[in-house]
Amino acid sequence: MNQPSRPATLKEVAEAAGVSPSTVSLVVNKKKDARISPETRRRVRDAIRDLGYRPNALAQTLVSGSSRFIGLVADAIATTPFAGQIIHGAQDEAWKHGYALLIANTEGNGDLENDAITMMLEHKVRGILYSTWFHRLSEVPDALREADFVLVNCFATEDGVRAVVPDEAQGGREATELLVRAGHRRIAFINATIPAPAKDGRLAGYRAALDDAGLAFDPGLVLEAYPDQEGGYGAVDALLSLGVTAVYCYNDRMAAGLYDGLRERGVSVPGDLSVVGFDNQEVIAAHVRPPLSTVALPHYELGAAGIRMLLGLDSPSDGASPIVKVPCPAVERESVGPHTRAAEFSPPPASP
Amino acid sequence: MNQPSRPATLKEVAEAAGVSPSTVSLVVNKKKDARISPETRRRVRDAIRDLGYRPNALAQTLVSGSSRFIGLVADAIATTPFAGQIIHGAQDEAWKHGYALLIANTEGNGDLENDAITMMLEHKVRGILYSTWFHRLSEVPDALREADFVLVNCFATEDGVRAVVPDEAQGGREATELLVRAGHRRIAFINATIPAPAKDGRLAGYRAALDDAGLAFDPGLVLEAYPDQEGGYGAVDALLSLGVTAVYCYNDRMAAGLYDGLRERGVSVPGDLSVVGFDNQEVIAAHVRPPLSTVALPHYELGAAGIRMLLGLDSPSDGASPIVKVPCPAVERESVGPHTRAAEFSPPPASP
């Protein structure tokens, strides 16, 4: 059952080519200074091809001193849809430069994390990307310091620790601008209750976009809710009491829950209220009714940029911060409509 | 910036322990027949600990002839939330037995797949799990035949090819039984339009559950729709014309779209209609309103069972099919209510 066919050995290749095993080894390991005639090299390569011989990558690594692996430690491959895109971006970029990814999923378990990094070091990885599923401040694990490393979707406060993170403030500005450009002037923001760089950055972006549009920031238009569907659903009454024509939600899950509450109250999107999310979350943003305009978290690009930084292809310029921010692009769908005069001047419903 | 501290060398360990480098090597590689006194072994181990020396796993692999890697080839880590759980289960089980996973994400690209398998073979993996994001019939790639392998979430028609797949029919039966047990007698099934083992299996399970309950199968109660939110939303009118009190949907995304359409028509779940999904999809099933009762695709267990089969820990018994089916457990939430007489006897609305 699925037994592997026995691979050809170096000795068999040598016999087929009529040379010594050490000559085959020299050809395989591309020793430039070895005196082997072009004709002999050709015979060896033909025999390798005919017999399907696979040179041992491990032995080649020992000869060259480092492997063609890059490690990626992720804290939540299984439980969020976000890690997948970081992996995808990192892998595409790594393959482009001749490296394979060695991926470990730690689910936040410190022992597993330490074991995974140790395993990667033992396999002489070129370096390690250390990634988290949500953008946050992180400690640098001790074991990681033995490798060349880059933090992805997280960052450290220590000097010189390289990191690639999403530009939350620019994303928040883009999200708000989708509403400003449609003519909205009274725009609510439902922020998350949980402290995080995203909470601060997305609020800063909202304020910057209002500023640019000459609109005064009104703290009364900023609500807070837990960043999932239940949080958005629970914020509906408070939101409707504000008399706004548009709302920007901290994330798409919150917007999806808000949709449910609005539908129950007969408030149509975008006819009565324009809604913008954040994340461009797979399986949700494009599939709610109406499809949600949002801002994408650039997970694929974070993974790719992390690899480029690790390999020294994208280096922060001298004196610049080693924390690189990747833009969050707007994704326009159907949840933003034009501002209507009627909505602007209708009095807010009385509070209970 | 994040430069690795230079690791200790074998030579430095030998000097610190007052022994020859080859003695250190013998201790590290656990050569049983080497004549080294317990006292010398202790000195070497102390020096290894004090200097933080990391034995080279690659060199150890060459000595032992095979690596502590198992490969996992996945076709869609990035674009679906399902692959993550397969990885999680495979990794947990692999670590338990002293193996690390080498993961490659192919996004269905044949060249990438071939390169990934070749890389794994060159690194002398113990074997390879070949997985697909949705349950389907698969070709066995030629390169895979050079390794010991198990298919995960897919299967081949060839004799003897080992595979681990979800038990779709048992899952469909569980889903339908959630409704039968609540007293429903007229139960619709919205199947997928796309041919797949899930389509056939989930229908077979529905029929088996009706049979067990002494209910006649009525093909007029089986609809078909595209298996996403838009498909479920579009099926609402056809469903309501059937005069059923309950519906089992091919997947959770379809159920989520159905919810939107029902809400717009003032049909309450589960008051007017009980709804069951399939998949227990992350970020959706537990977070729609009301939370959706469903059947879980056992992705974690598929990954773990694949590893056990590869390592020969779970072997199909002689003569048994090498395709092992993993059960899909029911997950009860709030979308199933008791059958009401009124609903059963209300005439179906006239078709337009």
For position B41, what pLDDT does the model report?
Answer: 86
* Range with the poorest average pLDDT among A340-349, B218-227, B257-266: A340-349
Q: Which residues of A touch B55 (CB under 8 A)?
A: 122
Mean per-residue pLDDT of chain B: 88
**Does the pLDDT at position B348 exceed 50?**
no
CA dist., res. A38 & res. A30, Å (int): 13
Those residues whose C-beta lies under 8 Å from the C-beta of residue A281, and which sit 6 or more positions away, are A81, A251, A252, A253, A294, B283
CB B107 within 8 A of CB B79: yes
Contact yes or no for A118 and B54 at CB 8 A: yes
DSSP state, residue A296: B
**Is B194 within 8 Å of chain A by CB?**
no
CA angle B6, B7, B8 (to 5 degrees): 120
Q: A residues 137-176 near B, CB within 8 Å? A: 145-150, 160-162
User: Which among B8, B75, B74 is positioned nearest to B47, based on CA atoms?
Assistant: B8
User: Which among B156, B117, B278 is positioned nearest to A2, based on CA atoms?
Assistant: B156
Section B173-202 average pLDDT: 97
Q: How far does the CA of residue A278 sit from the closest CA of chain B (Å)?
A: 15
Interface-testing mutation among B2, B51, B54, B93, with chain A (most A C-beta atoms within 10 A): B2
**Does the pLDDT at position B315 exceed 80?**
no
Query: Chain A residue closest to B129 (CA)?
Result: A2
In chain A, DSSP finds a helix count (H) and a strand count (E) of 13, 12
A168-293+332-345 topology per CATH? Rossmann fold (3.40.50)
Of B77, B95, B115, the CB nearest to A84: B77
Of B2, B147, B287, the CB nearest to A4: B147
Query: Chain B residue closest to A140 (CA)?
Result: B2
Interface-testing mutation among A1, A9, A51, A117, with chain B (most B C-beta atoms within 10 A): A1
Q: Are strands B323-326 and A187-192 parallel, antiparallel or unpaired?
A: unpaired
Q: How far does the CA of residue A106 sit from the closest CA of chain B (Å)?
A: 9
Tell whether omega for the bond before B352 is within 30 degrees of 0, i.e. cis: no
- Residue type for position A274: S
Residue B250 CA to chain centroid, in angstroms?
A: 18
DSSP A178-225: HHHHTT--SEEEEEESS-SHHHHHHHHHHHHHHHHTTPPP-GGGEEEE
CA dist., res. A231 & res. A242, Å (int): 17
Q: How far does the CA of residue A263 sit from the closest CA of chain B (Å)?
A: 7
Question: Band of the pLDDT at B61, cuts 50, 70, 90?
Answer: low
Q: B residues 86-115 near A, CB within 8 Å? A: 87-88, 91, 95, 100-105, 107, 112, 115
Longest dimension (CA), chain B: 94
Q: How far does the CA of residue A121 sit from the closest CA of chain B (Å)?
A: 8
Query: Chain A residue closest to B233 (CA)?
Result: A289
Contact yes or no for A289 and B162 at CB 8 A: no
Question: What kind and span of H or E run contains B248?
Answer: strand B246-249
Q: How far does the CA of residue B287 sit from the closest CA of chain A (Å)?
A: 6
Domains B10-64 and B168-293+332-345 share a fold: no
DSSP A116-172: HHHHHHHTT-S-EEEEEEEEEE----GGGGGS-EEEEEEE-SSTT--EEEE-HHHHH
For position A351, what pLDDT does the model report?
Answer: 47
Q: B residues 262-281 near A, CB within 8 Å? A: 263-264, 281
How large is the ipTM?
A: 0.76
What region, left, alpha or beta, does residue B326 occupy, with left being phi > 0 and alpha being psi -120 to 50 degrees? beta
CA dist., res. B263 & res. B335, Å (int): 13
**CATH number listed for the domain at residues B69-161:** 3.40.50.2300
For position A315, what pLDDT does the model report?
Answer: 73
**Does the pLDDT at position B346 exceed 50?**
no
Section B262-266 average pLDDT: 93
Q: How far does the CA of residue B325 sit from the closest CA of chain A (Å)?
A: 18
Domain positions in chain A are 10-64, 69-161, 168-293+332-345
According to the CATH classification, is domain B10-64 in 1.10.260.40? yes
pLDDT tens across the length of chain A (352 residues): 344 455 677 788 888 999 987 888 788 776 666 788 888 888 988 888 888 777 666 666 655 666 788 999 998 776 677 888 898 899 889 989 988 888 888 878 888 888 889 888 888 889 999 999 899 999 999 999 999 999 999 999 998 999 999 999 999 999 999 999 999 999 999 999 999 999 999 999 999 999 999 999 999 999 999 999 999 999 999 999 999 999 999 999 999 999 999 999 999 999 999 999 999 998 899 999 999 999 999 999 999 999 999 999 987 677 778 999 999 999 999 999 998 644 444 444 544 4
- Residue type for position B315: S
**Does the pLDDT at position B283 exceed 90?**
no
Question: Band of the pLDDT at B345, cuts 50, 70, 90?
Answer: very low
Whole-prediction pTM:
0.80
Query: Chain B residue closest to A228 (CA)?
Result: B287
Contact yes or no for A2 and B160 at CB 8 A: yes
Contact yes or no for B83 and A88 at CB 8 A: no
Bigger pLDDT: B185 or B39? B185
Of A55, A67, A283, the CB nearest to B81: A283
For position A58, what pLDDT does the model report?
Answer: 61
Of A58, A79, A283, the CB nearest to B284: A283
Q: Which residues of A touch B163 (CB under 8 A)?
A: none
Q: Which residues of B touch A66 (CB under 8 A)?
A: none
For position B352, what pLDDT does the model report?
Answer: 47
Of A1, A2, A84, the CB nearest to B78: A84
Query: Chain A residue closest to B229 (CA)?
Result: A287
Question: What kind and span of H or E run contains B42?
Answer: helix B38-51
**Is B31 within 8 Å of chain A by CB?**
no
**Does the pLDDT at position B241 exceed 50?**
yes
Q: How far does the CA of residue B113 sit from the closest CA of chain A (Å)?
A: 12
Interface-testing mutation among A144, A283, A335, with chain B (most B C-beta atoms within 10 A): A283
Q: How far does the CA of residue B222 sit from the closest CA of chain A (Å)?
A: 24
Q: How far does the CA of residue A170 sit from the closest CA of chain B (Å)?
A: 25
CA dist., res. A317 & res. A205, Å (int): 25
CA dist., res. B289 & res. B132, Å (int): 31
CA dist., res. B326 & res. B164, Å (int): 7
Inter-chain Cβ pairs, chain A and chain B, closer than 8 A: 189
What is the rounded end-to-end Cα distance, in angstroms, of chain A?
71
Bigger pLDDT: B236 or A120? B236
Of A87, A257, A281, the CB nearest to B77: A87
Q: A residues 44-63 near B, CB within 8 Å? A: 54-59, 61-62
Q: How far does the CA of residue B80 sit from the closest CA of chain A (Å)?
A: 7
Helix (H, G, I), strand (E, B) or coil at A94: helix
Those residues whose C-beta lies under 8 Å from the C-beta of residue B5, and which sit 6 or more positions away, are A145, A146
Query: Chain A residue closest to B75 (CA)?
Result: A88
Bigger pLDDT: A217 or B12? A217
CB B283 within 8 A of CB A284: yes
